[in-house]
Amino acid sequence: MTKTKTFTREFKPKAVQPLELGKKIGTQLVRQLRVKRNQLYNWKKRLRHLPDWNYMMKC
């Protein structure tokens, strides 16, 4: 049986930020962070709906 990875609330925005800002493409981030591609894009989609998401992207 494999253990599932758990990622913190702090990790997810930091992981998605380079993708959102266009600094890296999804494939690069997936390899670097060792996460699944669909997981990264799901985080991106969910984080966009947070009220403070635009503020976090400017920092």
How many structural domains does the chain have? 1
d(CA 19, CA 1): 32
- The residue among 23, 19, 12, 2 whose CA lies nearest residue 47 is 12
* pLDDT per residue as tens digits for the range 17-37: 999 889 999 999 999 999 999
Q: Does residue 5 lie in a domain region?
A: no
Q: Does residue 49 lie in a domain region?
A: yes
Query: 10-42 as b/e, with b when 16 or more CB fall inside 10 Å?
Result: eebbebbbbbeeeeeeeeebbeeeebeeeebee
Q: Does residue 1 lie in a domain region?
A: no
Q: Does residue 29 lie in a domain region?
A: yes
| Whether pLDDT at 55 is above 80 | no
Q: Does residue 6 lie in a domain region?
A: no
Range of the domain at 35: 11-58
Q: Does residue 19 lie in a domain region?
A: yes
Q: Does residue 18 lie in a domain region?
A: yes
Query: Who contacts 21 (Cβ-Cβ below 8 Å, separation ≥6)?
Result: 57
Q: Does residue 4 lie in a domain region?
A: no
pTM of the model: 0.75
